[in-house]
Each structure stands twice: as structure tokens, then as C-alpha cells.
Amino acid sequence: NAGVTQTPKFQVLKTGQSMTLQCAQDMNHNSMYWYRQDPGMGLRLIYYSASEGTTDKGEVPNGYNVSRLNKREFSLRLESAAPSQTSVYFCASSRRPGTSGIYEQYFGPGTRLTVT
């Protein structure tokens, strides 16, 4: 049981380049999330997907797009990278809203992205 996996672990991009961050979970969770973490700013929600087939904007969606490919996979795309997008990106997943019990979000190991 791998939990939440992310690829790549590290990436350096030049301004204007594009890339896709991949995330997959094997816990049969319905909900998935993308966050960015900057020093002193905590975790900021970029996009989330309550269930397969739906996606919604979070706090900081500008400059990003997402795809919920299937129940397991949720990708984040940077179409034209900017230095302001230098950050650590975390993917997370949780059980479906409305189910009883703890709504714990399980995080992936993170992707450290640098845009020069």
C-alpha cells in the first residue's frame, strides 16, 4: 500500500516552460487536493476534486490547471511557469465528504519545483 505518490520529486524549469506534476493514490479515496507550500505561508489550496469528474478552484488557482484522470490520479499542470511558482507542491487525498469518521487528508511526499 503506497498511499499517495507524487512525481517528480524535484524539478527545475525555465520561465515559460510547461510541466505536469503527477499524483496517484491507492486508498480508494474520492477526494484529492493540490497545495503549494511557501516559507511562512503554510499550505495554500490550489485546486481540489471532491470526486471523480469534478474539480474546483482553491485559494490560489491562477497559473495552474488540473485533471482528475480517474479515481486514482489527479494531475497539476503549469502551462507557462513563472518564478513566483517556485514552491513545494503537495498532493493529498481523503475519504468522500459526507461519510462518517475522520476526514484525514493523506499527503504525498511533495515535489520541490524551482523556476528560474
Can you give the binding site for another protein, defined by CB under 8 A? 31, 33, 35, 40-45, 48, 50, 54, 56, 58-59, 90, 94, 97-98, 102-105, 107-110
By beta-carbon proximity to another protein, the closer residue of 8 and 103 is 103
What CA–CA distance (Å, rounded) separates 39 from 28?
A: 32
Q: How far is the CB of 60 from another protein (least distance, A)?
A: 11
Q: How far is the CB of 11 from another protein (least distance, A)?
A: 17
> What Å distances lie between residue 92 and 22, 79, 89, 105, CA to CA?
12, 22, 10, 6
Q: How far is the CB of 39 from another protein (least distance, A)?
A: 10
Burial 22-45 (b: 16+ CB within 10 A, else e): bbbbeeebbbbbbbbeeeeeebeb
Residue among 91, 114, 94 nearest 104 (CA):
94
Q: How far is the CB of 79 from another protein (least distance, A)?
A: 23
By beta-carbon proximity to another protein, the closer residue of 19 and 50 is 50
By beta-carbon proximity to another protein, the closer residue of 70 and 103 is 103
